[in-house]
Amino acid sequence: MPGKNLSRDEAQQRASILAVDGYRVRLDVTSAPDPAAAVFRSTTTVAFRCSEPGAATFLDLLAPAVRSITLNGRTIDPATAYDGARVHVDGLAAENVLTVEADCAYSRTGEGLHRFTDPVDGETYLYTHYEPADARRVFATFEQPDLKAPFTFTVTAPAAWDVRSNAVHETVTTEGAARTWEFAPTKPISTYLTAVVAGPYHVAADHYSRELADGTTLDVPLAALCRKSLAQYFDADEILGVTKLGLDFFHEEFDYPYPFGKYDQVFVPEYNIGAMENPGCVTFKEEFVFRSKVTDAAYESRANVILHEMAHMWFGDLVTMRWWDDLWLKESFADFMGSYGLIGARTRYSSAWVTFANQRKAWAYRQDQLPTTHPITADIRDLEAAKLNFDGITYAKGASVLKQLVAYVGSKAFFEGARRYFKRHAFGNTELTDLLDVLEETSGRDLRSWAAAWLQTAGVNSLTPQLTTDAAGRITELAVVQDGDVLRPHRIAVGLYDRDPDGALVRSERIELDVTGARTVVAEAVGRPRPALVLLNDDDLTYCKIRFDPDSLETLRAGLGDIRDDLARALAWSAVWNLTRDGLMPARDYVALVLRFAGREGNIGVLQSLHLQAKTAVDLYADPAWRAEGGRRLADGALHELRAAVPGSDHQLAWARFLAQTAGGAEHLGLVRGLLAGSARIDGLDVDQELRWALWLALAAAGQAGDEELAGELAADNTASGRRQYTQCLAARPTPEAKAAAWSAVVDSDELPNALVEANIAGFSVAAHRDLTALYAAPYFKLLERVWSERTIEIAMRIVAGFFPRAQTGEPTLAEADAWLDGHPQAAPALRRLVLECRDDLARALRAQACDRA
């Protein structure tokens, strides 16, 4: 396969003849502080064996220039051997040493070696991000996960900088204005897991030690790093506290000592994802360093990600999937362990499973209903397909299925299987069968049929209760009806809920059973009084959409907020949102539920999800004729709840942010401006910098923020975050000129860093400005293939998904999307997948609007 892509077949062929003994990578980044310097020097020496002497192979490299290539002492001309993506070599010996010297490019897209200059103090920071295949932007490599090897990094950087990599540094030598860091060899790891971080980072150091079963002591140096200008906000003690709890927990559960020596956690700017599990040097988005007040849900999310990445040290780093087909072998497990660990490690975040049910599963349900859904174990033919598979199936559905598996085989058998898996495959690569083998050993269950149903098929089932009663109101039959293309075995609990003397809805009976086939009778329910509410999948044991019988749905309409248990209430909220998305509940009815009961929602994470979903319901799923009314109702509700919230509470902050998102009328916008000017005040509400930007965005989107006002706010907050939010405000203004500028900045130039690309797209795409952005629907479809061919895949994905005319919820837009898909059957499969998913979201919105209109 030509170009920058790599096929699975090519990777398998390469792995069939090669074994890599080690890499030595030397990087010289002393030029980084000079903004005019576009490249850095990279020298790679790789030792590898070939089982077919005389054969040819290639290394992967994306670099502006290759200076020299030497194979076993033989000089190879880069002009003939390097094609811009691959270094081709032939005449291999049984044992080989290949050296490639190249000029590699500093990145502004978050792929490869990303360079960032802090506007606060002018300091320069570097970090790498590679998954799935961007190590080749920094050094020459066999870019596939199953060619593991030890890596020895040497980095020359400005003398004042700190440099980190996967291993501890062995020597540091200074020569003039430069310092060279020599790192110890790593354990055998995959190329995408290697890491280099360099810059004048602020460092908080700590230490973890543990007595092991063999009587030895494990000592792990810990460090948490961020930019110097963020140090005043950096709550390193909290971060390192969660880290230590996690290390204790995973050592108890996995019975395999942490294998990578040290544990650095670096919070880096302009990061494309939440975090990356580079062994010994984990990187996180620096938005987890909170500059202003955030709700406790944000702290829980950060703790979850810390444990997610830590679980990867075993699931993914120690034992790695052979190819991206089995990406779930690390991501599903880490997603599950993030929530499981919050509870098991005894952190303060006791509502982790509520968050999982309400947020992670919502992501999975959406992804699993797209026409591009896929089995958890996917068919990944190349790297472009791998890039798109970091999705709600691989993460959240996989984690949901693992949660069910733990219930199915028992936690004791599950974790004993994990222990055997780590010991049996340490520093190696695995496939699905390797995991099933150990779980069958420890559980005594045949997991092949379970895997066939849950891991190797796509789609989500719906479970609906069917209830009949006699004249006395007692149940004569309760059955669970299962719908879906594939009917799966489900272990569920059925909750029967009634009102207690205080009027709360509480569970009066819990019946656990296996659901199989199209219809399963709940025999234990016969003879019981008809409850006010039948809640299927109570306790959230399986992965499914739940529906309600008519009486239960009426109970929810009248009293969803009366459900006392947090998890049961979250499941009910999730179910009515699914009904809305599926066009079975009018969007205005969902909005009414949120306005009636969200003010009583105790879980702050659930509340913030309700805000997001209610806004989506109005913007996309409501009858266009009702949108303005729906928007006014949301803004009125936000204002009411803001004034009623406990002063200084998380709920007050959440409602203030929701008011900023929904403000449109004179009363709402007047309060927004008053809060910014200080002429209005809500008792207990601290209008700090991040909230100020949210309020300015509301005014900008309404056309009530002037150029000088926004520039003044930027002058007061001339930081990376301030520049990003200022850019979004400019793009969010409701003028043709603002939309044209945002569009051009992204589409007509590749000079913007990833963070500002995202900010321009977000501002451009304000749903209320659909009349202005409608002009760009036709140009959008014309530019798709050019963008895909010219931009890096990360930026291309953002443009394709971000600029899709999703606010144009009408049949003409659907027809344009269909015409492009029909007319471009040979377009890159990954590009077609993105367009098809956006098209499906649009079709879903039209179905929901029809329901709301009816």
Catalytic residues: 309
**DSSP-derived 3-state class of residue 519:** strand
CA distance 25 to 792: 24
Residues in a beta bridge with 19: 49
Nearest to 538 by CA among 513, 520, 559: 513
Residues 668/659, Cβ–Cβ less than 8 Å: yes
**Which DSSP symbol is given to 572?**
H
Instruction: Give how far Cα 146 sits from Cα of 16, 97, 151, 191, 453, Å.
Output: 10, 19, 15, 9, 27
Name beta bridge partners: 321: 430
CA of residue 513 relative to chain centroid, distance:
33
User: What is the C-alpha separation between 362 and 835, in angstroms, rounded?
Assistant: 21
Q: For residue 9, which amino acid is it? A: D
Give the C-alpha separation, 640 to 618, whole Å: 19
Q: Are 775 and 741 spatial neighbours (Cβ–Cβ below 8 Å)?
A: no
Q: What is the three-class DSSP state of 64?
A: coil
- Nearest-CA neighbor of 197 among 313, 280, 316, 307? 280
Q: Find where tokens 């669970």 sit.
A: 480
Note whether 463 and 537 are within 8 A (CB). yes
CA distance to 482, 597, 655, per residue, from 611 (Å): 30, 12, 9
Those residues with Cβ within 8 angstroms of residue 479's Cβ, 6 or more apart along the chain or in another chain: 465, 466, 519, 520, 521, 522
**H or E element that contains 468:** strand 462-469
Token digits of residue 255: 């019975």
Nearest Cα to Cα of residue 226 among 211, 216, 236: 236
Token reading at 353? 């499973």
